[in-house]
Amino acid sequence: MKIVVLNGSPRKNGNTRIMAEAFAEGAKSKNHEVKILDIAHMNIKGCMACEYCFAHDGVCVQKDDMALVFDELNTADMVVFAAPIYWFDITAQLKTVIDRLYAHGKIGFNFNKTALLLDAGADGGVFTAAIAQYKAMTAFLKWEDKGIITIGGMMGKGDMEKAAKLADVRALGASL
């Protein structure tokens, strides 16, 4: 299947990107096609709630890089949401892309499988809001959750290289 990973971290080659690549490595070992999108480096504005999309077959009135994201999502079977925790939640950049999915609320999505990859500086206790948002969204949209992995203790750039749980991320990709 085709899997799109939405990397919501703005830090180039940071801990979240390392997580995304480990997942991709596992999935590719099972012959899945994986595309990682560094959405924090794309020009994507927030949803304006104009509801133009509802009257125009899911086409958003805003002409920005979200069109490129939809190009990928429209042929995807699975989407992985990946983000570092910023102030006890996912990054604003990933939330912005999630908000823009509203455009397909009426016409629906090609993919129906998802997963969540999160990392944070603290060891634990900071993932609650992000997981709650993800679970509510997947339940509402009837997406099948394939796994949630959280990795804490990631204080510095590159700490992820030494994280034992990175093997779990690779294994999640290989389990598909």
> Considering the rule CB under 6 A, would residue 9 count as an interface residue with ligand FMN?
yes
3-state helix, strand, coil in the chain (%, to 5): 40, 20, 40
> Least Å distance between CB 33 and ligand FMN?
23
> Least Å distance between CB 84 and ligand FMN?
3
> Considering the rule CB under 6 A, would residue 8 count as an interface residue with ligand FMN?
no
Residues 6+ apart with CB under 8 A from 7: 16, 17, 20, 36, 37, 38, 39, 40, 82, 83
> Considering the rule CB under 6 A, would residue 96 count as an interface residue with ligand FMN?
no
- Lay out the site mask for ligand FMN across 49-88 (x = CB under 6 A, - = otherwise): -----------------------------------xxxxx
Q: According to CB under 6 A, which one of 3, 4, 15, 147 is a site residue for ligand FMN?
A: 15
DSSP string of 67-116, one letter each residue: HHHHHHHTT-SEEEEEEE-BTTB--HHHHHHHHHGGGGTTT--S--EEEE
The contact set with ligand FMN (CB under 6 A) reads 9, 11, 14-16, 84-88, 119-122, 126, 154-155, 157
